[in-house]
Amino acid sequence: MNEQVRRRNRVVLVSLLALVAGMVGLAYASVPLYALFCRVTGFGGTTQRADAAPGTVLERTVTVRFNADVNGGLPWSFRPNQREVKVKLGETALVSYHAENRGTQPVTGTAVFNVTPDKAGIHFNKIECFCFTEQVLQPGQSVDMPVAFFVDPAAASDVNMEDVKTITLSYTFFRAKDANPSVAQANEKTTNEKTTSEKSANDKNGARPAGAPTAN
């Protein structure tokens, strides 16, 4: 193999490696880029986040309804404390959701959200929300979690919002990874206590531990 062929092969190899690296990088970047796109455009009913309400309040009103769901892997009950409120455009509203951990261990939950119709997402702004951070509930603990929001007065001049009289804000809670050290330690302690209890019961009943050889 002459030097020219080897050089061409190295160029092809480097190009392929660069292509693979680019595809991996794009895969990692696609999630945050998609999230940014949704926040900027309100795509899919993605709501906005604001530091404070606008200074303008219009007479036009909209009814905001509230929905709550829990993923099957989370032993929580979760519901809105009010079914709906009527607010003026630009007016700050404060509502709350109620959550209770019905399990026997501390659990960390994280909430995903959207509004319908989707086109209202660009105008629906949250100032305060439990969905901004993960929530940790101890066994049997229940909490009321606030949501402060407003509908942007700019919705009044958006032709796409002319027929919108009602907006539904929906949350779904999922079980999050127990990143909190105290939660992880509590779960580990519970697991260890369960294992010790089962071992003691087996010893008491003369049960053979799994994998132990049988006597001939």
Quick check: bond before 117 cis, omega within 30?
yes
Query: Does residue 58 register a pLDDT over 60?
Result: yes
Q: E strands of 60-165, at which residues?
A: 61-70, 76-80, 84-88, 93-101, 107-116, 124-129, 135-137, 142-151
* pLDDT for 12 beyond 90: no
For the cut 80, the answer to whether the pLDDT of residue 25 exceeds it is: no
Mean pLDDT for all residues in the chain: 78
pLDDT, one tens digit per residue, over 160-209 is 999 999 999 999 999 997 434 444 444 444 444 544 555 555 555 554 44
Residue 42: predicted pLDDT: 41
How does residue 30 score in pLDDT terms, banded at 50, 70 and 90? very low
Q: Is the pTM of this model over 0.85?
A: no
**What is the pLDDT, as a whole number, of residue 177?**
75
Place 153 in a pLDDT band, splitting at 50, 70 and 90: very high
For residues 143 and 214, what is the distance between their CA atoms, to the nearest angstrom?
A: 52
Amino acid 35: pLDDT:
39
**Could you tell me which residue, 76 or 188, shows the higher pLDDT?**
76
More confident residue, 188 or 121: 121
At 191 the pLDDT is 42
- In angstroms, the Cα distances linking 93 to 11, 66, 148, 172, 211 are 61, 13, 6, 21, 61
